[in-house]
Amino acid sequence: MFISIGSFCTSQNRILENNRELGLVKTAEDRIVDFKVKNEGNSAFYILSMQKGYTFDYKLSTDLIIPDSSAWIRLQIKQSQPGKFKLEVPVYFSDKNEPEIISIQGEIDKGGAQELFASCPDFRQKPPNIIQQENAFTLNVNIIDSETNLPVSNADVILLQNGRPIKQLKTDDEGNASSEIPLGITYFVVKKNSYVLEEVASYVNFKNNFVQIPLHPEKTMPIISSDKSNADESKEDRTIEILVQADESDESTVNSKSDLKTELKTWLLGRKEKEQTADSIFFNHKKTPEELFKTFKAENEQELMKLPFTAEHFKPVNVVFVLDVSSSMRQYDRLSLMKYALLQLTDMLKATDQFGVVTFASNTDILIPNQPIHKASDLEEQIGQLKASGMTAGGAGIKLGFKQVRKNFIPDGHNMVVIITDGGFNKNTGNYQKWIKQNSKKGIYLSVVGIKNNEKSRVDLMEAADLGNGMYIEIQNITDATEKINFAIRKLSYLK
């Protein structure tokens, strides 16, 4: 597998580990090494050059590294003869006269001497056959009736990984379905006529390859309460179950990416039409739904959502998302919901809207610099690869988010920071309330997306949204992730 190496500070401007011992190199994947470079200074710099040689190849995630952001250098060892090797690779930066030297050593195994990719894999593609060779396994899904425990046949199951639908299955007479998929956190959405649309998230792999999902008959489901109380975080999180409109069709499954996205949205639309809460799109702590809609030219939520997201109806948008990737987001459905919500929004924004992403855990980082969205490349890949670990430096994340928005402030547009988190902040919080107030006065607003917040976190995040003249948007399930942020962006940027 690819090796991502830790790092230490070698100068004021960058973090770059210079030495790496690879050990015995047996496969093509063993030949790939990623080095992280981080700009902790106040000025941008470039990676100017790395001379390719007979014994190595390389790719850069980007050559420009702005303050508070990172880049990756990917090296591929090309030596084909078995035996020990040592490489010294000079890396030239625009702010230094002398290069940094990366040193890599190891030993090519006799059996793996010819295991080599034609060229160093870039950051937009996965190297050939890695998933099939190392990560693929057969997943078995069993769907049953929650009351009778009997199998449910002809149930449709859509699987999502990294925020993207990857496969659709249909159960047989025994309620079973199986498919080969990559290992990892997988989000299951199950639909069957006369049953409630069900959502479950689980980590699946070679050993944990069986998932049983009970479906609840529609007639047994209570009316959804608008009470936003949440169970203690130590208990297992479950999504709020909401009625789905019956679907009499029994068409064969579809598995292209575009078809899967369309199919899933159709399912969620059916659920949304059955929701029984007054605040079905978002929960706002300051105003009733009637008060929220009274300033709209559009008569109601449905009309607003049907409007094309164009300059005719909506202001230019300059938005930076501040994403919580701390360890608490590891709880399976939280990170999956965040990725899915963000990817839906990138599909909605106008090509000229400004878009950026900042992440925070123990530290902050710029994942996607604020720029016109049509210039941002590899959005799905970068968002999909987010992992959760560390503490929650939310205050520092908010500050960096405001800094990114200010760089591309749109005078006649809607400029905003949207923080997506599951809870409060516990590291490097600082006086983030002060930053929120200051920026709100300058026309940069803050909204908060709460993913399965508990009561204490909800209160804190509502207060942050109040200070930022924005919205608090609560996400409990994939329907929320599809609709609520979309609606909030529309509401806030609507040309009144």
In CATH, what number is assigned to the domain containing residue 460? 3.40.50.410
The answer, yes or no, to whether residue 165 has pLDDT greater than 80, is yes
What are the pLDDT digits (tens) for 280-312? 334 444 444 344 333 333 446 778 888 889 989
Give a yes or no: residue 410 inside a domain: yes
Span of 225-239, 258-272, 360-374, 443-457 with lowest mean pLDDT: 225-239
Tell me the pLDDT of the chain averaged across its residues. 77
* Kind and range of the H or E run holding 467: helix 455-467
Domain count, the chain: 3
Same domain, 67 and 177: no
What are the pLDDT digits (tens) for 59-77? 888 888 888 788 888 888 8
For residue 320, the model assigns a pLDDT of 95
Structure tokens at 3: 């090796």
Highest mean pLDDT out of 74-83, 284-293, 397-406: 397-406
Same domain, 121 and 136: no
For residue 124, the model assigns a pLDDT of 57
Same domain, 305 and 237: no
Containing structural domain, residue 233? 132-274
For residue 163, the model assigns a pLDDT of 85
Domain boundary among 125, 155, 181: 125
Closest among 337, 321, 346 to 422, alpha carbons compared: 337
For residue 408, the model assigns a pLDDT of 92
Give a yes or no: residue 28 inside a domain: yes
| CB contact at 8 A, 78 and 55 | yes
| Positive or negative torsion for Cα 280, 284, 286, 287 | negative
Same domain, 121 and 145: no
Span of 168-172, 223-227, 437-441 with lowest mean pLDDT: 223-227
- CB neighbour list of residue 423: distance below 8 Å, 6 or more residues apart: 233, 324, 328, 392, 453, 454, 457
Task: Give the residue-averaged pLDDT of 317-344.
Answer: 86
Same domain, 305 and 269: no
Domain boundary among 247, 274, 301: 274
pTM: 0.66
The model's confidence at residue 15, banded by pLDDT at 50, 70 and 90, is low
Same domain, 65 and 154: no
Same domain, 214 and 107: no
Domain boundary among 92, 125, 158: 125
CATH number at residue 260: 2.60.40.1120
The model's confidence at residue 424, banded by pLDDT at 50, 70 and 90, is low
Span of 129-143, 375-389, 404-418, 450-464 with lowest mean pLDDT: 129-143
CATH number at residue 74: 2.60.40.10
Percent of the chain with pLDDT strictly greater than 90: 22
